[in-house]
Structure 1
Amino acid sequence: MADSSLSDREKPYQDGIHAEHQEPGLITNSAPVKDEGQWDGPDADFSGVDRAVVLRKMDMRLIPVLALLYLLSFLDRGNIGNANIQGLSEDLGLTDTQYALCLTVFFFTYALFELPSNLLLKKLRPSVWLPSIMVAWGTCTICLGVTNNYAGLLSVRVFLGLAEAGLFPGVSYYLTMWYCSEELAIRQGLFFSAASMAGAFSGLLAFAIAKMDGVGGYEGWRWIFILEGLLTVIVACGAYFIMYDFPDTASFLTPQERAWASHRLKYQGSKRSGRMIAESEKFEWRFVKAAVMDWQVWLGTIMFIGIVCPLYSISLFLPTIINQLGYEAATAQLLTIPIYISAAIMCIGTSKLSDRAAKAGNSRWPYIFWPMIAILVGFIIALAASAHGGVPGVVYAGVFITTCGIYPAVPGNITWIANNLAGSYKRAAGMGFQIGIGNLSGAMASNFYRKRDKPKFILGHALNIGIVSLGIAAVMTLRWNYARINAQRDRDESDGADINDDEIAKMGDRAPTFRYTL
C-alpha cells in the first residue's frame, strides 16, 4: 500500500518504485495494474484512455501556471521601459548611451545561459528549477528599485538576464515533453500570450504604482520595480508546490493515463512513417553538437531574430514611442493596453489555426509568414507617417499592427522548429540555441530607439523593417528546404529498411523515415 504520508506530487514516484510489488488486477487511481510493462512498447493498448479528458487535465494543471510565470518574467524584464518614462534616467543621471547599455547587457547573459539551462531542465526537476530561477530574477527586480547609480543599475541588469535565461526556452521545451507536435502551437500560444498580457498589465500597473511617488521617500519608478519583483518572489514560492515535472510522474493522471501520455510522445515520430520507433531519450553530447550545427536551427534562428528584434523594440520602447507622439506619460502607459490585449487575442487565435492545420496534415509556415508580413507592414506605416510629420494616430496604428503580428509569430516559430527537431536532447539543445542566439537581437533592439531620434524614431523603424524582411526570407527558405528533403525521402523506396530501429532513433530528424512539418 502506498505511504499515505506522501504528498500528491510524490506518489507517482513511489508508485513507480513499488509497481513490481502490486498484485495483478489491483486498482490504483481507477486504473487496473496487471503486469509490469503492461502499457509499454509500440503495441500497448490504450483503448480505455479518453484523449480529450487527459489533455484537459494537462491544460488545467500546466498552462495557467506557466502563463503566470511568463507574464511575471516579461513584466520584470520590460518594466524598465515603464520606469524610464516615470523618471528613472533623470533621477539616476543616466545619459542616452548609459540607459541603452543597461538595456543591452541584459541580453548577453540572457542569451548565453539559455542552452545550458535547457539541458539542466531535462536533467533536473522542472518543479524545482523553474521556481528557483524565478526567485532569483524577482530578487534582482527588487534590487533595481533600490539602486542609486548607473553602476548599480547596470550590474543588476546583468544578473537579471542570467536569472531569466532559463524560463522561456525552458517552458517552450517543457511543453514538448507533455504535448504532441499537432497539439503544441495553441499551448505555446496560450503560454506566450502572457507576454502580451504582461505588456497590457505593465502599463496599467505602472500607471497605478507611479501614484506612489514619494511614499517611503521613494520615487514612483522605484516602486514599480519593488512591488513587481516582490510579486514574482511570492508567486515563485507557491510554484514549488503546484508545478509538475513530467507526464510519467503526474499525480493528477491515472497510471494508465500517465503511460499513455508518455507513450504517445515517445512514438509520435512514427505517425509519419508508420514504423514504430521510440524517440531517443539518452543524453549524448553529439546530440547537442548536431543541434548547434543543424542548418534548420540556424535558419530558424534568423527567422526568430526577425520576430524577436521587433518584439523587444516594442516591449522596451512602446511607452516611449507613444509618449513622444505628444501624449503625457500616464496616457502613454494606458494607450499600450489595447495594443497588447489585441495581440494576445491574435496570438491565441493564430496558434489554434496552426494546430488545426497540422492535424489536417497541412502546413504551419503560413501562420508564421503572414504575421511577419503584418510586422513589416506596421513598421512601414509607422516609418512613412513619421517621415511625413509624425501623424500620431497613424504612427499608433502602425505599431498596433506590428504588435499584433509579433505575438502570433513567436509561438508559431517555436512550434515549427520543435516539430522538426527529433530526439529529446537535440530538441532541447536546438530550441535553447535558437532562442538564445535569437534573443541577442534584444541587444540590438535596445539601441534602435535613441533619445536623439525622437519624436520620429525613423532609424528604429527602418532597422526593424530590414530585420523583419530577413526573417521572412528565412521562413521561405526553410519551407522550401523542408519540402525538398521530404520529396527526396519519399523517393527513397527503402525508407530506411536496412537501418535498425536503434540507429533510426539516434538519427532523429535525419532519419529516412522522418518527414518535416511544412
Structure 2
Amino acid sequence: MTVDSVTKVASVGQTDHIDSEKDASAEFTYDRRAERRLRNKIDLMIMPTICLLYLFCFIDRANIGNARIAGMDMDLGMKGFDYNATLSMFYVSYIVFEMPSNVLCKWMGPGWFLPLLTVLFGICSIGSGLVQTVPQMMGVRFLLGMFEAGMLPGIAYYLSRWYRRSELTFRLGLYLVNGPLAGAFGGLLASAILQLDRVGGVTGWRMIFVIEGIVTVGLGIIGFFTLTDRPESARWLSHEEKKLSEERVRSERVAQTKVLDKMDKKKLWLGIFNPITISTSWIFLFCNVTVQGLGFFLPTIVRTIYPTHSLTEQQLYTVPPYAVGSFVTLLLPFISWRMDRRQLFMILSSPLGMIGYIVFLSTTNQSARYGATFLIASSAFSLGALTNSQVSANVVSDTARSSAIGLNVMFGNIGGLISTWSFLPFDGPNYPIGNGLNLGTQSGTLILASIMLLWMKRDNVRRERVEPEELVRLQNMSASEQEDLDWKHPSFRWRP
C-alpha cells in the first residue's frame, strides 16, 4: 500500500464551515483493494480476541442454568423464588453500571478496559463455585453483573473505531454469535466437566464455575497483549494504513474533523436523546427478554420436555437450538452488511419468534415444543448485532456513539432483568405466563421496528426539503459548533 491509496481530493467547509454527508464521503477516495487488505488485517488482529472474550463473558453469565440442573439449587437450599432472585442480582448491577462503564471505557481506552473487565468477572465466576449459601451466591452474581456491564457496549463501541457503518453489523454479529455459541458450547463443556470426579477440592456443579472462570481469567490476561486500543496506536499497521483506517471511518461522519473526539457532555446527551437510539433500545429490551430467558431457562425447559432423560442428555439437548441460532446470527448481519440495511432485518426476524411462542402456548407435544426453541433462537440472537450497529449508524461523533450504545445495552439488560422473572416455579411445567410475555415482546419488536422504518424515511424526506435553508444558517457557526450538532446537522440522514 502507498500513500496514493489514500488521496485527498477536496477540503470541504474550510471557508464557510458548511459540510454535508455527501461532501464528507467524497472528501477522500480509496484504493478499494488496499481498503480490503486493511479490513482483512483488522479482522485478523482484533476479532479473534474479541470473540473469545465475549464467548466466556456469556458462558460465565449463563452457566448458572447448567449448574442448577446439576444440583446447585439443592446444595444451596434454594426454595421458592430464590433462583429468580439470584438471577436478578446480576441484572441490578448490570443496569446500574451500564452507562458509567461505557463512559469509563472511552476515558480509559477499550484496549485496556475490556481485558481488565474479563479478568475481574472471571474471578467472580471462580467465586461462584466456592459459595455455600444463597446470599453469598447473590453477592457474587451482583459483582459479576457489575464487571460484565461494560463488555457488550464496550466491544460495540471499540469496533466502531475500526469499521465503517456497513461493515460494523457483521463484525458485531461475529462476536455476538458467541452468545448462542456459549449456550451450545456451555452445555457441551458443562457435560464434559461433570464427568470429572473433582478439580482440587471442588466437585459437582462447582467445577463448572471454577474451571470456566480460570479459563476466563487466562483469556483476559492474554487480551492485555493482543487488543490494540485504536488504529493510531496499532504497531501492526503502517503509517499509510493508519491514515486510511482513520479517514475511511471519519468520511461517514457529518461535519467531523476527527474520529476520536474529546469527551463532551452535549454529545453524550445527543447520543442518548436520539429518536433511533431510544426506539432501538426498546427493541433490544424486548429482544433480551427472550435471549436471556432462553439462556437461563432453556436447560429447565428441556428438562420439562424430556424429564426421563439423563442429566447429560438434558444438557446436550440444549446445544442444537443454539447452533441454529448461531448460524442465523451470522447470516442476517452478513446480508445486512452487503445491503447496508438493519431496520428491515429487525422486522423480518420477529415472526419466527412469534410462531415459536405460539407453539409453546398451543401444544404440549414434546417434539413440537422442542422444535419451537429452534425458531425462537433463530429470531432473537441476531438482534444484538442489528440494534447495536443501528444506534451506531445513526449518530455521528465518537462520544455520542459511546452513550448511544450504552443506552441500548442498558435497556437490553432491563429486558434481561425482566427475563429472570418470566419463568416462575408455579407457572411450570408449561410456563404460559413466560411464553405469553415473550410472544408480546416479539410482537412489540415487529410493530416498533416497522413504525420507525416509516418514520426514518419520512423524516429524511423532510430533511432533504429544508436542508438548503438550514445550511445557510450554519454560515456563522464555527467548525467546532457544527461538530456539536451531531445528528441534528441539516446534512445528516437517518440510516435504515
Q: Same fold (TM over 0.5)?
A: yes
Q: Deviation at 1:391?
A: 1.1
Equivalent positions of 1:131-280 (< 5 A) are: 131-213=115-197, 216=200, 218-270=202-254
Aligned-partner Cα distance in 2 for 1:48–1:477: 36
Partner SS for 2:494:
coil
Distance of aligned partners of 1:495 and 1:232 in 2 relative to their CA distance in 1, 3 Å threshold: farther
Aligned length: 474
Partner SS for 1:67:
helix
Partner SS for 2:145:
helix
Equivalent positions of 1:73-112 (< 5 A) are: 73-112=57-96
Q: Deviation at 1:38?
A: 8.9
Partner SS for 1:220:
coil
Q: Deviation at 1:468?
A: 1.9
Q: Deviation at 1:493?
A: 4.8
Q: Say which of 317, 320, 323 aligns to 1:341.
A: 323
Q: Note if contact 1:369-1:472 (Cα within 8 Å) is conserved in structure 2.
A: yes
Distance of aligned partners of 1:419 and 1:48 in 2 relative to their CA distance in 1, 3 Å threshold: closer
When structure 1 is superposed on structure 2, of 211-220 and 414-423 the one drifting more is: 211-220
> Any idea what the Cα deviations from partners look like across 1:145-204, whole Å, max 9, x if unmatched?
010001110100000000111110000111111101011111011111111111110000
Tell me the residue number matched to 2:423: 449
Runs of 5+ in structure 2 lacking a partner? 13-26
Tell me the residue number matched to 1:63: 47
Aligned-partner Cα distance in 2 for 1:471–1:391: 27
Q: Note if contact 1:372-1:409 (Cα within 8 Å) is conserved in structure 2.
A: no
Tell me the residue number matched to 2:265: 285
Aligned-partner Cα distance in 2 for 1:68–1:215: 23
Q: Note if contact 1:39-1:260 (Cα within 8 Å) is conserved in structure 2.
A: no
Aligned-partner Cα distance in 1 for 2:63–2:9: 48
Amino acid at match of 1:250: A
Amino acid at match of 1:208: A
Q: Identity over the aligned pairs, expressed in percent?
A: 27
When structure 1 is superposed on structure 2, of 132-141 and 428-437 the one drifting more is: 428-437
Distance of aligned partners of 1:314 and 1:47 in 2 relative to their CA distance in 1, 3 Å threshold: closer
Q: Deviation at 1:280?
A: 7.6
Amino acid at match of 1:403: A
Tell me the residue number matched to 1:309: 289
Residues 1:395 and 2:369 are matched in the alignment? yes
Q: Say which of 364, 371, 375 aligns to 2:353.
A: 375
> Any idea what the Cα deviations from partners look like across 1:300-350, whole Å, max 9, x if unmatched?
111111111100110001011001112432112111111111111111111
Aligned-partner Cα distance in 2 for 1:495–1:66: 45
Q: Deviation at 1:216?
A: 4.8
Aligned-partner Cα distance in 1 for 2:326–2:157: 21
When structure 1 is superposed on structure 2, of 200-209 and 106-115 the one drifting more is: 106-115
Aligned-partner Cα distance in 1 for 2:494–2:257: 16
Aligned-partner Cα distance in 2 for 1:280–1:138: 30
Tell me the residue number matched to 1:434: 408
Distance of aligned partners of 1:213 and 1:462 in 2 relative to their CA distance in 1, 3 Å threshold: farther
Q: Say which of 499, 504, 513 aligns to 2:482.
A: 504
Tell me the residue number matched to 2:22: none
TM-score (norm 1): 0.87
Tell me the residue number matched to 1:321: 301
Amino acid at match of 1:489: R
Tell me the residue number matched to 2:314: 332
Amino acid at match of 1:66: I
Amino acid at match of 1:344: S
Distance of aligned partners of 1:45 and 1:223 in 2 relative to their CA distance in 1, 3 Å threshold: same
Q: Note if contact 1:291-1:429 (Cα within 8 Å) is conserved in structure 2.
A: yes
Q: Note if contact 1:381-1:395 (Cα within 8 Å) is conserved in structure 2.
A: yes
Aligned-partner Cα distance in 2 for 1:379–1:190: 27
> Any idea what the Cα deviations from partners look like across 1:449-473, whole Å, max 9, x if unmatched?
1222222111111111112222222
Aligned-partner Cα distance in 2 for 1:454–1:422: 47
Q: Deviation at 1:442?
A: 1.1
TM-score (norm 2): 0.91
Q: Deviation at 1:364?
A: 2.3
Aligned-partner Cα distance in 1 for 2:302–2:32: 56
Q: Note if contact 2:60-2:122 (Cα within 8 Å) is conserved in structure 1.
A: yes
When structure 1 is superposed on structure 2, of 87-96 and 121-130 the one drifting more is: 121-130
Aligned-partner Cα distance in 1 for 2:428–2:126: 30
Q: Deviation at 1:237?
A: 0.9
Aligned-partner Cα distance in 2 for 1:240–1:493: 46
Aligned-partner Cα distance in 1 for 2:459–2:263: 27
Q: Note if contact 1:495-1:513 (Cα within 8 Å) is conserved in structure 2.
A: no
Tell me the residue number matched to 2:332: 350
Amino acid at match of 1:315: G
Give RMSD over aligned pairs.
2.2
Amino acid at match of 2:431: F
Tell me the residue number matched to 2:16: none
Q: Note if contact 1:309-1:444 (Cα within 8 Å) is conserved in structure 2.
A: yes
Tell me the residue number matched to 1:470: 444
Partner SS for 1:218:
coil
Q: Note if contact 1:31-1:255 (Cα within 8 Å) is conserved in structure 2.
A: no
Q: Deviation at 1:511?
A: 1.1
